[in-house]
Amino acid sequence: MTELQAGQGAQPLEVPRIDARPQRYRDVLIALAAFVLLALLPMVFGSKQLLDFVIRCAAYGLFATSLNLLVGYTGLISFGHGMFFGLGAYGFGLMMQKTGVPIPVAFVATLAMTFVVAVVIGAICVRLREIYFAFVTLAFQMLIHSTILSWQSLTGGDQGLRGGIPRPPFLGIDLSNHLHLYITSCALLVIGLFLMRQIAQSPFGYTLRMIRDNATRASFIGIDVWRAKLVIFVLAALFAATGGIIMALFVSGAYPEFAYWTISGEGIFINMLGGVTTFLGPMVGTVLLLILNDTVTRLTEYHGIVLGIVILFFAIGLRKGLMDFVVEWYGHRRGEGRG
């Protein structure tokens, strides 16, 4: 993780504020403003495609941002984070199809199930370091994917959960109404991002950065590194599952691809594209990747080549994500202006 190590990066180590309240008020205001803007969007541009795009951004954005809590903040390169996206989609879809409980109950129950699974898998994975961590998470992801494929009676195997997910109205919200689904997705996105931001800015968030920069030192000053890693692994899993739930609601089903390793690969690519050192980098990456995917798929059948070249441009040419680049460039410019 040389790129992320303290002292080598261009940015100085952030110093946590002792009183975090002013920042929290600012975050609340930003979150409210973002939500209002998103909610007003359908009145300005009524196109269904745009709303669909935002819903997909909400699903992938929550997933990618939660992955960045692991990759960017803690230095845990998970190659299996997509399993929680898939678990969220399947858990929620199955709960709605089989039990007929109200949507909020299914939502909470799915997160509870994800919590249990993430604690068990996380307890095993976070013992391992670097590439071994990446591969054991990948193995768990593929294990879950294989289970979904082979447990046909429950999951429908490679056909996925079909027949649609029932979406009975609750509290005046009817998720089979496209506009309601849109507003709910935006609300989940904004709330999720706000919560993750609070985690990242909390003392615990700074503990994670310390573990990323120097785990040995962190354990010497009395931090339980294993526990901190496990806590963030589980928290990130919950947000990824929320993304999966949005996705299941959006497509009204769940498919094995949601739990396939490529979801994790895309998540890492999104983070790379947007940048891992800023909180909103993954969101920017999500928007970029979805736009890129949509346009490239329309223009050519060989979209692998185009995507590959874009990745190479970022990895070898730019050597960092877009937001990292912008922040650094802005920092330089401001620094020069002052000097």
- Using the rule CB under 8 A, which residue among 299, 312, 329, 334 binds other proteins? 312
Q: What string marks each residue from 243 to 272 as x (binds other proteins by CB under 8 A) or -? A: ------------------x---x--xx--x
Rounded to a whole number of angstroms, the minimum distance from the CB of residue 135 to other proteins is 5
CB of 151 to other proteins, least distance (A): 8
Decide whether 49 or 153 has the Cβ nearer to other proteins: 153
Which residue has tokens 């975090």?
A: 20
Helix ranges (H only) for the chain are: 21-44, 48-68, 82-98, 103-125, 130-150, 152-155, 178-201, 203-213, 215-220, 225-251, 261-274, 281-299, 303-312, 322-338
Q: What does the per-residue mask of binding to other proteins show for 15-54, with x meaning CB under 8 A?
A: ----------------------------------------
Local structure of residue 46 (DSSP, 8 states) = -
Cα angle: 333, vertex 71, 106; to 5 degrees: 120
The backbone region for 156, taken as left when phi is positive above 0, alpha when psi lies in -120 to 50, beta otherwise, is left
- The minimum distance between CB 130 and other proteins, in angstroms, equals 6
Nearer to other proteins, 79 or 85 (CB): 79
To other proteins, the closest distance from the beta carbon of 45 in angstroms equals 32
- Contact status: 153 vs other proteins (CB under 8 A): no
Residues 48-107 that bind other proteins (CB under 8 A): 71, 77
Contacts of 26 (CB under 8 A, 6+ apart): none
Looking at 44-52, 62-70, 108-116, 142-150, which segment touches other proteins (CB under 8 A)? 142-150
- The β-bridge partners of 173 are 170
Nearest-5° Cα angle at 274, 208 to 218? 10
User: Which of residues 134, 235, 236, 246 is near other proteins by CB under 8 A?
Assistant: 134
Q: How far is the CB of 274 from other proteins (least distance, A)?
A: 13
Q: How far is 160 from 145, CA to CA, in rounded Å? A: 11
Answer yes or no: are the C-beta atoms of 35 and 190 closer than 8 Å: yes
Q: What token pair was written down for 85?
A: 């996206």
> What does DSSP assign to residue 254?
B
Q: Please choose, out of 81-89, 100-108, 147-155, 229-237, the segment that lies near other proteins by the rule CB under 8 A.
A: 147-155
Chain positions contacting other proteins, by CB under 8 A: 1-4, 71, 77, 124, 127-128, 130-132, 134-136, 138-140, 142-143, 146-147, 149-150, 152, 261, 265, 268-269, 272, 276, 302-305, 307-309, 311-312, 314-316, 319
